[in-house]
A and B are shown apart, each in its own frame.
Chain A
Amino acid sequence: MSEQEHEHDGERRSIRCLVAKVGLDGHDRGAHVVARAFRDAGFEVIYSGLHNAPEEIVQATVQEDVDVLGISILSGAHNTLVPKIVDGLESYGAAEDTLVLVGGVIPEEDRPALFEAGVAAVFGPGTPIDETIDFVREHAPARGHDR
């Protein structure tokens, strides 16, 4: 039994994550590693597959009602794609209680704008996977489930 599950009153909560590849870059090794590690941490991971448009990511995030959206981008198009996704989430009222993370090669100077857009954290190459998992554990459950 994983520690994410609270068994009182029969409640079975599990942290749900969408690991998404957006845009044209076809490098999904990182996304696979993260998806696998999240699973082993007891999370429920929905993997999007490659080459998703921002609208697809929004659709999946809303329908799956995930706690965490992890976007993996290695193409350099993060400045246009990420805000599109966050805007899409906002149009469904889903932005405020989704923890949005970005993984991949994100130059330092681009990060403030991403945080401004609503990204909670950026995990660059070489980030120990435990650091990401701990971050998710610490921040994901903060969202109330009664809205």
Chain B
Amino acid sequence: MSDAGLHDADEALLERLLEGDHRALARAISRIEDRAPGYRGLVSALYGHTGNATVVGITGSPGAGKSTLVDKLAEHYRERGETVGVVAIDPSSPFSGGAVLGDRIRMASTVGDMDVFVRSMSARGRLGGLSSATADAVVAMDAFGKDRILVETVGAGQNEIDVVRTADTVVVLVPPGAGDTVQTLKAGILEIADCFVVNKADREGADRTVQELQEMLQVGAHGPGGDGGTSGFTAHDAGHHGVRGVAGHDSDPDGDDHLEEGWSPPVLETVATRGTGLSALLESLEDHRTYLERSGELAARRRARHGADIEALLRDDLGALVARELETVGGVDALAEAVADGRSDPYRLVDALVEPLERCLADEDVRDRAEGDLEALLE
């Protein structure tokens, strides 16, 4: 099992990264993405240098204007003298595992400026794992010293929702005139949004989309348990982001109100290509940040995220353990064949496979040692 110690080669890499060498940051992210031997030790060492960046996630359907908006935000942050990291995630082909990552095309405002560090990532055919790779890449950028980190992803499924949750603040982009899109937003994305942006607001149908979103948010806030919600959308947001108060007709997010009532996501309009509405968005992002800090929500979210990271890593490791166990008994195909020709069934086979693991875990000596190790780490 790969351990969390720092390899020699990585120690040099870590040093260069902390000194501000962009190539070292790039290489560190590659190692994270590749799950290269020793990457864990690297990330583990990076953790000690994090906590200074603000992380904003931006999600929305393809063509909603995410990359353009990210570009404008990056440009603005640079004007204020802040450094920016961008993680742009595109889906990969489920067939070849390959991907064409085109988000850089729209990030033209900050060309030649190394202090805007854009990194494209694909899912690489893995189902889980993308969110932990993203989280680790964010850790690397944070440790490097980037002030602002933007995570951009297509809001298509659970995987992407998990990815965007690596952010402190989540912005959901909705194209105008997208009645159907608003409907599809119900599937989990509405609940994670801290801010809605109807981009391309100069197009027909933008007002209506804003109105639809506001209505949906009100239904969500008023329907306890969501049983009576006409749209079927429930108010079960607590499981995702904690407190969320009564949604009013806001758009004038006021810090103090939010402290009393929780945060109600504003619905903003932008035309990202022209920068229209950008300052209102930036203001909302700052407001949300203030809310997060004052309400204690920031700490709560980060705790929840670390918890999810731990669980994901644990599942990864156990999965690898099981995969190796399977390998030693001749692979899954041999077992499948036994089921196919009636010699056995999946339940008995899995019982037999898990049995040695269970016996190991039940062993008192092993338990004592493991608990001792854990206690030492928690001190």
Contact = CB atoms under 8 A, between A and B. Distances in A.
Contact of A64 (B97, B120, B316): B120
Given A59-B111, A63-B22, A94-B23, A2 B100 contact: no
Contacts of A62: 22-23, 26, 114
A55 interface: yes
A43 B97 CA distance: 7
B97 A42 contact: yes
A16 B31 CA distance: 13
A65 B26 contact: yes
A41 B96 CA distance: 6
B122 A44 contact: yes
B100 A47 contact: yes
Interface in B26-58: 26-27, 29-31, 33-37
A56 to B, nearest CB: 5
Given A12-B35, A56-B112, A59-B111, A5 B97 contact: yes
Interface residues of A, number: 40
A9 B113 CA distance: 37
B9 interface: yes
Interface stretch (B101-109, B197-205, B256-264, B280-288): B101-109
Interface residues of B, number: 41
A145 B31 contact: yes
Contacts of B320: 9-10
Given A39-B93, A53-B111, A46 B126 contact: no
A63 B102 contact: no
Nearest to A46: B101
Given A59-B112, A63-B119, A44 B98 contact: yes
Contacts, number: 124
A29 interface: no
A49 interface: yes
A56 B119 CA distance: 14
Contacts of A63: 22, 26, 114, 117-119
B118 A47 contact: no
A147 B125 CA distance: 26
Contact of B93 (A40, A53, A94): A40
Interface in A9-54: 9-14, 16, 35-36, 38-49, 53
A131 interface: no
List of 10 A-B pairs having minimum Cβ-Cβ separation, nearest first: A49-B105, A39-B98, A2-B97, A65-B26, A55-B112, A65-B30, A42-B98, A46-B101, A42-B96, A42-B97
Given A1-B125, A39-B100, A45-B101, 4 more contacts: A36-B100, A41-B96, A46-B120, A64-B119
Interface of A: 1-2, 4-5, 9-14, 16, 35-36, 38-49, 53, 55-56, 59-60, 62-65, 92-94, 145-147
17 contacts: A9-B320, A13-B34, A14-B98, A35-B100, A39-B96, A40-B96, A41-B98, A42-B97, A47-B101, A53-B112, A60-B104, A62-B26, A63-B114, A65-B27, A92-B22, A145-B36, A147-B27
